Structure formats: structure tokens, C-alpha cells
Amino acid sequence: MLKFLSIRDFVIVSQLELEFSSGFTALTGETGAGKSILIDALLLALGERGDAAMVRNGCERAEITAEFDVRQQPSLQEWLQTQALAGDDGVCLMRRLLDAGGRSRGFINGRSATLLQMREAGEQLLNIHGQHAHQSLLQPEAQRALLDEYGSLQKNAAQVSASYRDWQALRNRRIALSDNSQAIIAERELLSFQRNELEALAFNVADWEGLQADYRRLAHAAGLLETAALGLETLSESDSACLTQLNALMVKVREGVTHDASLAEMLHLLESAAAELQEAVYSLRHYQQHLETDPQQLIEKEQRIGYVMDMARKYRVQPELLNEVLQKIVARLTELGGDDDLEALLQQEKAAQQRYLECAQDLSRSRHLAAGKLSKQITAAMQTLAMQGGHFAVVLLPLSQGNVNGLETIEFQVAANPGMPPRSVARVASGGELSRISLAMQVATSQIASVPTLIFDEVDSGIGGRVAEIVGLLLKQLGREYQVLCVTHLPQVAAMADSQWQVSKTVENGTTLSRIEVLKGNQRIEEIARMLGGVTITDTTRKHAAEMLGVAA
């Protein structure tokens, strides 16, 4: 539950620190005093979007910090662990900074967090019921969402939505394949021809490089043979061959070594040179013996190169990329499938449709059960809210083929008076009736809320007298199970609260500021009397206020 809230430089709040307790707390004060500022600050701390107008005039930034006790919320603690946002044991600290330029930063337990993370955490920390919540009763989407939430059917509904999308995706593919069958057949025939053509080419990059090397060698074979012959003649086969002259020189140098030992190094160099030249002679002879000059091979390799180049020009790529072209063609053929794919796709579509129907029928059964329970609870609550004899019904209207939300639409129907048949809420309920129906619904759904803190922001507008007292009693009953905060103008509601805070405005140095004071004893009697009596507060009004507080206690 909410334990502590710190607000700094937010709207008309300079600095405010509040400690919260369990039970039902009422926030009261004059109209315009800023009672809803506390709600707005909490929303900002829990990830709602903010703007620069929320920063108090003349200040650099607004700062909101909210501390929650989450010891009784293992699912939230697990979520914090998975998000690497866990803090002290049993504590969740939400902090939001908003500067005058409109930029903001969020933190959970001192670690930087995205607005999405803050909202996901906030959804598990508290629920806020706004004073205009009854407007959503007119929206079919909101009605369906409320029923699913009441029946804890969100996972079932999500499964139905996923299975419906899978079914429709297969259906659309099957229709597209059927409508474009002739074009697909023509495309498949072309791609098959291209695949066969490229597979017959049997192109390989390594072989391509070897083919080009072989071609260059064969094309220049005569010149290469002439080069080898010249080398052999120069080195060993002519009368003045290098090796013959070198050997004669080495004989002379060896004789000289006997007279001058310094010639030994020269002799060593000459012997090494002679050995290298002899090795060159061996290599040239081997090269000469194995060099091919077959004209037929030259023609074949030239034809192969021409064929590859023709294919490369046809597909407008470099020869080295021909295999990539083949892979793309094969992939597209796989995507198009064979002639039997239309029947296979049809079978897949039928199976997906069956899965959807099974999920949707299961959801429908669960919705019927939840609708019956919710209808009874809201009808019972209506009897206490000046709508005696009225009846509320959550009706499931079947759809012929179903949609992403299931096999039915949800419609809230109401009979405000006895003996009248239920009709759509949007058609028969007045504004005041909508407000009371909304409150009854909020009370009914709050009783199954998984969050520990419930906030009601002037949901009691448009009611008064005995009905207002009953509303206060309902909120007090909720306070036994949850932490309940309610912004209210009604003394009957405020008197039922376990504790009461007064919100007021003051002007300091020409600046309007909002402050909150926890009321005790006579202070609370004075505030209830103000709410009862208006401008002039008499002893009778104070006595009435004291009686109301006594009855509530």
C-alpha cells in the first residue's frame, strides 16, 4: 500500500510530505483548493505523461516521490527482480522528475526506468477511479474490458485474439494464393527454368578462378615455351652458357684459394650461385615438358568462359554472384510452394479456425458466468443507491462469425425502474443514473482488485442525502480490505472515513500555494460542518457534524 508521498514544486504545491495509513481516508476542501493535485502527482510518479505546465511557476523542476509497501505483493516483487529494479526488501520507491522544459526522468528504487516500466509497476500498485469514469460505460470496448477484468479472463481473451490473428493470416494467404494462382503459376514456371539453367551451369567460384588461369596459360603457351627454351639455352645448352662459364671460373678460384685463403668466401658464393642456377635449369625443363599446347583445350575453356559471362550478363551480376542469384530463385520458389500448397494452406486455415472457435467458446462460457455474477452484484448495489427495483444486466450479443475479441459483443443494459425491460445503458440512463451505476460497478470490481490501494476521485458527484451516506458506507467497507482514498465534496462520505485530510489554498508573497492538513477531533468537526453549512457555520451545524462522525464511528 501507499506509505509516503513527497511533492515538490508541482502545480501550486511548493513542498508537501504525506504519510499514509490503511483504511478509508477522505480528502476534502473548498472547490479549486487542489484536492485532485495529489491524484495528478501520484499519476505522474506512476508513469503518466507530464508537461512543463505541471512545474510550479518560476521553478526549475517538479519532483514526485511515492513509497509503497509491497511485502504482500509477491508478483510485483518478482517483476521488479526480472526488470533489475528491486530495492530494499518489501519496498517499491517510485520517483519522477519533470523540468520546466518538459523533459522528465523516472526512477524505480533509485534505478533509471522507462515510462512503460513505471506504468507497469503502477498498474500493480493502485487503481484510480476518476469522476468521469461513468463515460466509459458507453463504450463497448470498455464494457468488454471491464467484464474480462472482473472475471480474470484477460489471458483467455489474449489467447482468443492471438488465435484469431493466426487464423486470419492463413485465410488471407489462402485467398491471395487463390486469387493470384495464374500469376503465381507463370512466375513459378519462369523461376523453375532459371533455376534449372543456373544449376546446369554448375558454377563454382574456385573453379572459375582456376578456369581463367588455365585459359591465360593455354592462350600464351607458344610464348611461354619460347621463354623456357631461351632460359635453358642461356643457362646450360649454348656454347657460352652461364653454367659452363661459371664452372670454369670456379676451377680458377679454387686454384687461387691455395694461394690466397681470402678467395674462399668468393668461392662459396659462386658455388651457391651455381647450385641455384642448376635448380632453375631443372625447373625450366620440368615446366617445358609439362606445358600443354592443346588447341582443343583452349577452345573448350574459351567456350566455358563465354557461357559463364553470358549468364552473368543475363542476370545482370558479376560472375562471382551467380550462386547468390540461384539461392534467391530457390528461396522464392520455396515461398511460392508447389501446386499442392493451396490445399495444404486450406487445411491449415481450417485447423486454425477450429483452434480459434475452441478458445472463443471457452471464453464465452467463462464470460457468461462472470456476466451473471457481475450483473447480480451491480443490481444489488443499485438498490442501495436510490435505484430501488432497478436491474442491471451484462448481455453477450452473439456474432455470426466472431472477431478478434471473441464470439460476442458485450453490452451493459439497465432497467432504472421496476417493470421496465433492460435496454442499452447508452440509451436509457441519465447522467445521474450513470454516475450511480458507475459507482456501483467500481465497488463491485474493486472487490476483486489485485492492487492494495484504491483511489476514488469525486466519483460521488451528482448524488446526496441518504445515497451519499450509503456511498460513504460502501467506501468504508472497502477500507477494511484495501487502502482507500477518496476526494469528495459530500459530508456524508467524509464522515464515514477513518481519517480525513483538508486541502486548502493560501497566498504567500503573491503566489498561490496548496497545502494538506490531517484533521483531528474538533478540526474534523469544523470541516464536516463547513461541508454541511457553507459560508455560515452555526452550533447546530457543528452538532450535526459531530453526530455524523459519531454514527460513522
**End position of a domain, from candidates 336, 355, 372:** 336
- Residue at grid coordinates 493470416: 169
Assess if residue 388 is contained within a domain.
no
Assess if residue 88 is contained within a domain.
yes
Whether residue 537 sits in one domain with residue 491: no
Q: What is the pLDDT of residues 36-75, one digit of tens each?
A: 788 889 999 999 888 888 999 889 999 999 999 999 888 8
Q: Pick the residue with more confidence: 468 or 42?
A: 42
Nearest to 362 by CA among 142, 168, 157: 157
**End position of a domain, from candidates 336, 364, 381:** 336
Would the pLDDT of 112 be above 90?
yes
What does the block give as the cell for 178? Answer: 487463390
Whether residue 245 sits in one domain with residue 123: no
Question: Residue 289 belongs to what domain range?
Answer: 186-336
- The predicted pLDDT at position 244 comes to 81
Residue 77 belongs to a domain with what CATH number? 3.40.50.300
Confidence of residue 461 (pLDDT cuts 50, 70, 90): low
Whether residue 324 sits in one domain with residue 214: yes
Nearest to 366 by CA among 394, 392, 401: 394
Three-class SS string for 17-66?
EEECCCCEEEEECCCCCCHHHHHHHHHHHCCCCCCHHHECCCCCEEEEEE
Whether residue 325 sits in one domain with residue 234: yes
- The predicted pLDDT at position 534 comes to 66
Whether residue 190 sits in one domain with residue 84: no
Assess if residue 199 is contained within a domain.
yes
**End position of a domain, from candidates 303, 336, 369:** 336
Assess if residue 230 is contained within a domain.
yes
Cα→Cα distances 93→180, 229, 516, Å: 58, 92, 22
Judged by phi (left if over 0) then psi (alpha if -120 to 50, else beta), residue 446 lies in alpha
Confidence of residue 497 (pLDDT cuts 50, 70, 90): very high
Cα→Cα distances 265→151, 245, 255, 279, 427, Å: 104, 19, 14, 21, 119
What are phi and psi for residue 117, nearest 5 degrees?
Answer: -65, -40
Would the pLDDT of 133 be above 60?
no
Whether residue 329 sits in one domain with residue 203: yes
Please, which residues have CB within 8 angstroms of residue 402's CB and are 6 or more apart in sequence?
164, 356, 357, 360
The answer to whether the beta carbons of residues 501 and 26 sit under 8 Å apart is yes
Pairing of strands 126-129, 453-457: parallel
Please, which residues have CB within 8 angstroms of residue 452's CB and are 6 or more apart in sequence?
1, 72, 73, 125, 126, 482, 483
Whether residue 546 sits in one domain with residue 510: no
Whether residue 549 sits in one domain with residue 492: no
Whether residue 297 sits in one domain with residue 203: yes
Assess if residue 140 is contained within a domain.
no
Pairing of strands 111-113, 61-69: unpaired
What are phi and psi for residue 228, nearest 5 degrees?
Answer: -65, -40
> How many structural domains is the chain composed of?
3
Whether residue 20 sits in one domain with residue 7: yes
Assess if residue 550 is contained within a domain.
yes
Assess if residue 215 is contained within a domain.
yes
Judged by phi (left if over 0) then psi (alpha if -120 to 50, else beta), residue 84 lies in left
Q: What is the pLDDT of residues 230-257, one digit of tens each?
A: 777 778 777 778 888 888 888 888 888 8
Whether residue 326 sits in one domain with residue 195: yes
Assess if residue 148 is contained within a domain.
no
Whether residue 206 sits in one domain with residue 326: yes
